[in-house]
């Protein structure tokens, strides 16, 4: 029996100078892996076509140089002008061949079944992204999503742990140094804004390294003639120089001040002219020279000076906004001048960079694809929990019915002491003229008490215990669901890992409807328990009249005047409206009222519970389910909403 294939998410970082591809599986929490093409983890963005076929990367120039017939070759073709043939054609050919080769090598499933997440600059509009998605579909990729590269960089920083969730949700300046441009993207609460885009690419340094190495080649003239005949070889040579540059600065960074020991030497063979060797060396002297060199394309300024100006321009465009974090990405972010320049421009910000910044975008794209898929699946499952007939729906409804039995004894005991006894005390002292007036005064007391802090304090323990039991029963459902989606159980925690009872101090209970909180993210400023108290008090007025009828029994059992029997009926005569002498009133002590009322406690509790079940439980159950559903969806969003557009 064949196993069902896992969904795979392919991050496609098609760069102007070089390209990288990452893969993540839907059923795995492992870090996305970088896929090799022709033995290279990153490869030059070049494509060539002639009568013998189409090749990409380094093979593209080999095909163009060695193939027969008319040669067509494109290098550094990525552009926002996606409808231009010089961009559309090479992009389509490059994408087709790249993923066709990866599928043939069994490194991806297929162009039709794999899910592709393709990066684009943050400054691209929604129309640009839609056009780009259409181009990718024309290239054979069936399921495509276009995502700003800034989001991918944030995702990688989050998942690799060098950026916290809190930091990502605040202000972050992303500095992406590519081969042809340096982009500054400001993100506040994950909303991206382009604050700088220029031609300051690290490719300018690659050109300088190429010129220095070309000048010291034993077969310099031969190589120059070959480049003149096959000009598309220059981007390949520059790409090789870039790899040596990044290898050098990475080693120099690890070696500290001992940069001489970080010198890099490579030998590459050009498959033309009889296999000419090209020796590449980058050492401290080379590095110092290229960083000091005046570059024509930068109006005679050096690369470090121009980068400093670009950072200052980004500061001006921020208009006084101060990022808490500066996130560096792109292979050239390893340059020793980059981090210090950013630290100088943003002295109060934390400057961070990952271990492999050249792969941050590709990894982040595949991470995004996986998490968006899991998030959508997770939200669907969560919605099913609270749908009518769902397990949480049923447990909440059952718990709501039981709440009347939980609250009734607490309410009866509290209202006797807080309202019934004091009302008769006022009557006994002559503050209330007639027994008729006791009932009205009692209702006022009950309404006031139910809105008081004392009521909240009295009801809180019972509600907390009731809700804690409901929460435990719900967690028996939600915890396995979280694990099934490779998420920690705390994602659906209703109290953010701390029991609700610890967060009720000083909270208002004036909450007439649970549903009023449906747009309140994370139930800020309150808790589920506080909401339950508010709903209860909004409904509790219906309980007040239930506490007046047994008092006739209490009065009749104590005063013993005329034909008093028992019950409310005896008070419906003239005595009920009479102004009873003070001496006789003194017979009705607090203890006798409390004792008489408590003899009726069982009946009162039953009446209160019945009233809850008949008049409040159904409405409360609906609002409880709605609140739980909103809380669950909000918590499900907290992990993935950061990465959705």
pLDDT tens figures, 155-202: 898 888 888 878 887 899 999 988 878 889 998 887 888 887 777 888
Which class for 582: exposed (0-12), middle (13-18), buried (19 or more C-beta within 10 A)? exposed
Query: What is the model's pLDDT at position 180?
Result: 79
Average pLDDT over residues 302-306: 91
CA-wise closest residue to 31 among 4, 9, 6: 9
Q: Show the tokens assigned to 393.
A: 């729906």
**Are 10 and 117 within 8 A, CB to CB?**
yes
**Phi, psi angle pair for 479, to nearest 5°:** -60, -50
Report d(CA 297, CA 206) in Å as an integer.
13
Task: Look at residue 231 and give its three-state secondary structure.
Answer: coil
Structure-model confidence comparison of residues 566 and 582, the more confident one:
582
Query: What is the model's pLDDT at position 576?
Result: 59
Q: Show the tokens assigned to 201.
A: 């690419």
Report d(CA 151, CA 419) in Å as an integer.
60
Q: How would you classify residue 371: left for phi > 0, otherwise alpha for psi between -120 and 50, otherwise beta?
A: alpha
Residue range 1-161+364-376 in CATH 3.20.20.70: no
Q: Residue 352 carries which DSSP code? A: E
**Dihedral sign, CA of 32, 36, 42, 47?**
negative
Structure-model confidence comparison of residues 370 and 585, the more confident one:
370
Confidence of residue 552 (pLDDT cuts 50, 70, 90): very low
Confidence of residue 261 (pLDDT cuts 50, 70, 90): low
**β-strand partners of 33:** 23
Confidence of residue 604 (pLDDT cuts 50, 70, 90): confident
Q: On the CB side of 234, how many CA atoms lie within 13 Å of its CA?
A: 15
HEC readout, 421-476: HHHHHHHHCCCCCCHHHHHHHHHHHHHHHHCCHHHHHHHHHHHHHHHHHHHHHHHH
Query: What is the model's pLDDT at position 331?
Result: 82
Q: Residue 589 carries which DSSP code? A: -
Structure-model confidence comparison of residues 256 and 109, the more confident one:
109
pLDDT at 636 over 90: no
Structure-model confidence comparison of residues 644 and 333, the more confident one:
333
Query: What is the model's pLDDT at position 139?
Result: 95
pLDDT at 21 over 90: yes
% of the chain at pLDDT higher than 90: 27
pLDDT at 142 over 90: yes
Query: What is the model's pLDDT at position 575?
Result: 57
Residue identified by tokens 């017979």 is: 587
Looking at every residue in the chain, the average pLDDT score rounds to 79
Average pLDDT over residues 549-567: 39
Report d(CA 30, CA 25) in Å as an integer.
8
The distance from CA 179 to its chain's CA centroid, rounded to whole angstroms, is 30
pLDDT at 588 over 50: yes
Structure-model confidence comparison of residues 211 and 246, the more confident one:
211
Q: Residue 5 carries which DSSP code? A: P
Of the candidate ranges 4-18, 430-444, 488-502, 518-532, the one whose mean pLDDT is the lowest: 518-532
Helices within 15-84 (DSSP H only): 58-66
Task: Look at residue 367 and give its three-state secondary structure.
Answer: helix
Of the candidate ranges 31-40, 373-382, 391-400, the one whose mean pLDDT is the lowest: 373-382
Task: Look at residue 50 and give its three-state secondary structure.
Answer: strand
Give the CA distances from residue 470 to residues 393, 460, 482, 517, in Å, rounded to whole numbers and listed in that order: 11, 15, 18, 20
**Are 467 and 407 within 8 A, CB to CB?**
no
**Phi, psi angle pair for 91, to nearest 5°:** -60, -45
Query: What is the model's pLDDT at position 3?
Result: 55
**β-strand partners of 325:** 172, 350
The sheet carrying 325-329 orders its strands as: 191-198, 182-188, 171-177, 325-329, 350-353
Query: What is the model's pLDDT at position 17?
Result: 83
Structure-model confidence comparison of residues 568 and 110, the more confident one:
110
Report d(CA 175, CA 186) in Å as an integer.
9
Query: What is the model's pLDDT at position 253?
Result: 55
**Are 204 and 295 within 8 A, CB to CB?**
yes
Query: What is the model's pLDDT at position 300?
Result: 92
Q: How would you classify residue 174: left for phi > 0, otherwise alpha for psi between -120 and 50, otherwise beta?
A: beta
The predicted-structure confidence for 62-98, as pLDDT tens digits, reads as follows 665 555 557 788 888 888 899 999 999 999 999 999 9
pLDDT at 36 over 90: yes
Q: Show the tokens assigned to 333.
A: 């972010």
Query: What is the model's pLDDT at position 114?
Result: 95
């Amino acid at each position: 029996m064949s196993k069902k294939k896992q969904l795979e998410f392919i991050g496609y970082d098609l760069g102007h100078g070089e390209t990288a591809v990452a893969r993540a599986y839907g059923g795995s929490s492992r870090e996305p892996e970088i896929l090799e093409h022709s033995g290279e983890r990153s490869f030059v963005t070049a494509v060539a076509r002639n009568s013998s076929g189409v090749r990409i990367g380094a093979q593209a120039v080999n095909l163009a140089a060695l193939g027969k017939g008319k040669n067509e070759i494109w290098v550094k073709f990525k552009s926002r002008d996606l409808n231009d043939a010089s961009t559309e054609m090479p992009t389509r050919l490059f994408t087709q061949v790249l993923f066709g080769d990866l599928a043939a090598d069994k490194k991806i499933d297929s162009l039709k079944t794999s899910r592709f997440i393709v990066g684009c600059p943050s400054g691209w509009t929604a129309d640009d992204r839609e056009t780009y998605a259409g181009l990718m579909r024309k290239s054979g990729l069936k399921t495509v999503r276009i995502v700003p590269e800034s989001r991918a960089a944030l995702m990688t920083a989050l998942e690799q742990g060098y950026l916290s969730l809190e930091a990502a949700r605040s202000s972050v300046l992303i500095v992406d140094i590519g081969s042809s441009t340096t982009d500054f993207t400001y993100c506040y609460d994950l909303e991206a804004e382009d604050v700088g885009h220029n031609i300051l690419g690290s490719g300018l340094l690659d050109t300088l390294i190429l010129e220095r190495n070309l000048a010291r080649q034993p077969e310099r003239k031969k190589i120059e003639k070959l480049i003149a005949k096959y000009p598309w070889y220059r981007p390949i040579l520059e790409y090789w120089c870039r790899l040596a540059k990044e290898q050098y600065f990475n080693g120099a960074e690890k070696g500290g001040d001992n940069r001489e020991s970080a010198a890099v030497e490579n030998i590459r063979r050009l498959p033309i002219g009889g296999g000419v060797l090209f020796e590449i060396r980058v050492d401290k002297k080379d590095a110092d020279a290229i960083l000091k060199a005046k570059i024509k394309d930068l109006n005679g300024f050096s690369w470090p000076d121009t980068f400093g100006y670009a950072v200052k321009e980004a500061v001006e465009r921020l208009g006084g906004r101060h990022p808490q974090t500066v996130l560096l990405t792109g292979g050239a972010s390893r340059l020793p001048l980059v981090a210090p320049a950013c630290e100088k421009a943003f002295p109060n910000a934390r400057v961070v960079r990952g271990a492999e910044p050249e792969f941050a975008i590709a990894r982040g794209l595949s991470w995004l694809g996986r998490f968006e898929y899991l998030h959508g699946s997770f939200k669907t499952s969560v919605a099913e929990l609270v749908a009518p007939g769902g397990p949480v729906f049923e447990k909440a409804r059952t718990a709501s019915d039981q709440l009347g039995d939980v609250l009734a004894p607490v309410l009866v005991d509290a209202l006797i002491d807080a309202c019934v006894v004091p009302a008769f005390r006022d009557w006994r002292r002559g503050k209330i003229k007639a027994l008729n007036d006791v009932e009205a005064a009692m209702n006022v007391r009950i309404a006031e008490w139910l809105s008081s802090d004392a009521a909240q304090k009295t009801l809180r323990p019972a509600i907390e215990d009731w809700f804690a039991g409901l929460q435990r029963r719900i967690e028996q459902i939600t915890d396995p669901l979280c694990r099934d989606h490779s998420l920690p159980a705390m994602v659906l925690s209703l109290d953010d890992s701390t029991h609700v009872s610890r967060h009720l101090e000083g909270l208002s209970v004036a909450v007439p409807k649970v549903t009023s909180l449906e747009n309140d993210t994370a139930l800020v400023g309150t808790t589920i328990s506080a909401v339950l108290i508010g709903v209860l008090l909004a409904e509790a007025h219906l309980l007040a009249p239930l506490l007046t009828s047994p008092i006739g029994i209490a009065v009749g059992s104590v005063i013993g005047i005329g034909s008093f029997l028992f019950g409310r009926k005896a008070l419906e005569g003239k005595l009920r409206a009479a102004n009873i002498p003070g001496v006789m009133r003194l017979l009705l002590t607090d203890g006798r009222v409390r004792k008489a009322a408590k003899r009726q406690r069982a009946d009162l509790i039953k009446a209160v519970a019945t009233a809850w079940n008949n008049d409040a439980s159904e409405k409360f159950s609906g609002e409880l389910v709605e609140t739980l559903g909103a809380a669950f969806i909000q918590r499900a969003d907290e992990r993935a909403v950061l990465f959705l557009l």
